[in-house]
Chain A
Amino acid sequence: MKLNRKYKIRTDNLSFWYGERQALFNNSLDIEANKITAIIGPSGCGKSTHLRVYNRIFELYRGQKAEGKILLDGENILDEDVDLLDLRRRIGMIFQKPTPFPMSVFDNVAYPLKLHYKLKGSELEARVEAALKGASLWDEVKDSLGKNGLALSGGQQQRLSIARAIAAEPEVLLMDEPTSAIDPIATAKIEELMDSLRERFTIVIVTHNMQQAARISDTTAFFYRGRIVEVGDTKDFFNNPKDPLTQDYLSVKFKK
């Protein structure tokens, strides 16, 4: 590994339980700043679980438990006394399905701004516009900001979700299979968008689509049965996989 790399998140010895069932086993993974890290692996391998620890969203559910350390800029976010609301402002999340709230396009994007900054008037409008531009959605919705977010197309809804996630200027974006519910053209748009977002954010994307990981990511991590099998620079990872499990997976042997 090169020494001059700057890591935004360092995961150290992370284990995770759904009640009695252990889903992650002592995993360590470093996430480089302003890069896209892709997590791939078969269904149930723990890739989404891993992602959901980064903003502690799993804590909404009883019986789910994480152990280990996750250092965000050196500070362990699994500590008891971490300010969860601020953590979630710093780490945004995009889900499998688009999740516009049942309110207007404008209000959707303004929502996190109102939560964290109590902005009003022209300042709020400027921030909403900037977020929509950042998500490449502005040109399509600038004349219909009052329209219900649910009335947009699937791809637009997902970009609206991204606009909302970046509105409060987070540092990290977590994306949990963000294109699995939308069509190929909309997917291409979002991949293009991610490429431009990399300058401002550190991105971690979970995907079951290996081609997508190969196209857009800088680093790829392969999860299998709750363990990280192999991590590497994406080009290297796909051209020259080292672990036999990775080789098998990439040759689509046990993709099912």
Chain B
Amino acid sequence: MSERVFKSLTFAAASLTVVLAASFLIVLWFSGFEAWKTFGLKFLFTDVWNPSSGEFGALGALSGTLFTSLLALLIATPLAFAAAMWASDAPKWIASPLSRAMDMLAAIPSVIFGMWGIDFICPHFGFSLFSASLILSIMILPYITAVMRDVITMTPDVLKESAYGLGATRFEVVKDVILSFGKNGLAGGIFIGLGRALGETMAVLFVAGGLNMIPSGLFDGCTTIASALANDFAEAEGLHRSVLFALGFILLMLEFAIQILAQLYLKRGKIK
């Protein structure tokens, strides 16, 4: 195969992904247009959800999405950091298999997490915002941990040694040197986790309770955009269907924004 043919093939493949991404946005926008036309910007700020009377607002699902994701981050980030710190320091024969096991968590299908959650988490915390966050935090743990492991090993040994050499404790070295050296990379890892959490569907659908309104407490039922879409889409018609597309559009924009932030921070973390 000539160089030129190969180059045009790879270029075509690369362009295709861009075209696909753009077409997602276009389809979501036009299929949701009726919803935007009917409710205007108010759609973003109300949490009514009444398919029988044709009244819809995005705020219920949107707030559920944000609350569950942020709470999941709050739970997962310190755990991931601790796990990554431990793995960077523990003897290889145990750190290595445990890190692999952690990576394996990422390969478990979402629906399995959902089933597990119904049996092991919901009996304690109900079908609730908290249960959904807990499941999400376990699901994003491997992603954040993997990035943090990289960041921690990126900190040069000689930098750590010079902090220890000044009489710093292990905690001080982590806090003052590793965290400040790797803060961009760590932020990148957190955003990657956030991106995963925002779009997570099946597991949340199983345990969140499916209540489409602004959650009033940790242990109240809620829903997220992704799980509302999965739940309603098959039987939605007319305006209801268009509303779901509009919700999908909001989710996609959120995800794009988070992805861009994640890439930005990861890139900044690599410099120097």
Residues of A within 8 A of B (CB): 55, 57, 60, 62, 84-89, 92-93, 95-97, 99, 101-103, 111-112, 115-116, 150, 161, 164-165, 168
Partner of A112, one of B91, B158, B166, B272: B166
Task: Say whether A115 contacts B162, CB under 8 Å.
Answer: no
Q: Is B237 an interface residue (CB 8 A)?
A: no
Task: Say whether A99 contacts B181, CB under 8 Å.
Answer: no
With a CB–CB cut-off of 8 A, which chain A residues contact B176?
A: 101, 111
Cα A112 to Cα B166 with chains together (Å): 6
Cα A89 to Cα B167 with chains together (Å): 6
With a CB–CB cut-off of 8 A, which chain B residues contact A115?
A: 166-168, 172
With a CB–CB cut-off of 8 A, which chain B residues contact A102?
A: 180-181, 272
Task: Say whether B162 contacts A93, CB under 8 Å.
Answer: yes
Task: Say whether A60 contacts B162, CB under 8 Å.
Answer: no
Q: Is B163 an interface residue (CB 8 A)?
A: yes
A85 touching B181 in the complex, CB below 8 Å, given contacts A60-B164, A101-B163, A111-B176: no
**9 shortest interchain CB distances as A-B pairs:** A88-B167, A99-B162, A93-B165, A112-B166, A85-B167, A89-B167, A95-B158, A102-B180, A102-B181
Known: A84-B167, A85-B169. 10 other contacts (CB 8 A): A57-B161, A60-B164, A85-B167, A87-B167, A97-B158, A99-B162, A111-B166, A111-B176, A165-B165, A165-B166
With a CB–CB cut-off of 8 A, which chain B residues contact A87?
A: 167
Partner of B161, one of A60, A101, A112, A165: A60
The residue in chain B whose Cβ has the minimal distance to the Cβ of A99 is: B162
Cα A165 to Cα B164 with chains together (Å): 11
Cα A60 to Cα B162 with chains together (Å): 12
Partner of B159, one of A55, A62, A99, A165: A99
The residue in chain B whose Cβ has the minimal distance to the Cβ of A93 is: B165
Can you list 23 A-B pairs, Cβ within 8 angstroms, ordered by A?
Answer: A57-B164, A60-B161, A60-B164, A84-B167, A88-B164, A89-B166, A92-B165, A95-B161, A96-B158, A99-B162, A101-B159, A101-B177, A101-B180, A102-B180, A102-B181, A115-B166, A115-B168, A161-B162, A164-B166, A165-B165, A165-B166, A168-B166, A168-B167
The residue in chain B whose Cβ has the minimal distance to the Cβ of A96 is: B158
**Chain B: how many interface residues by the 8 Å CB criterion?**
19
Cα A84 to Cα B177 with chains together (Å): 19
Cα A112 to Cα B168 with chains together (Å): 8
With a CB–CB cut-off of 8 A, which chain B residues contact A116?
A: 167
What's the minimum C-beta distance from B181 to chain A, rounded to whole angstroms? 5
Cα A85 to Cα B172 with chains together (Å): 12
With a CB–CB cut-off of 8 A, which chain B residues contact A88?
A: 164-167
With a CB–CB cut-off of 8 A, which chain B residues contact A165?
A: 165-166
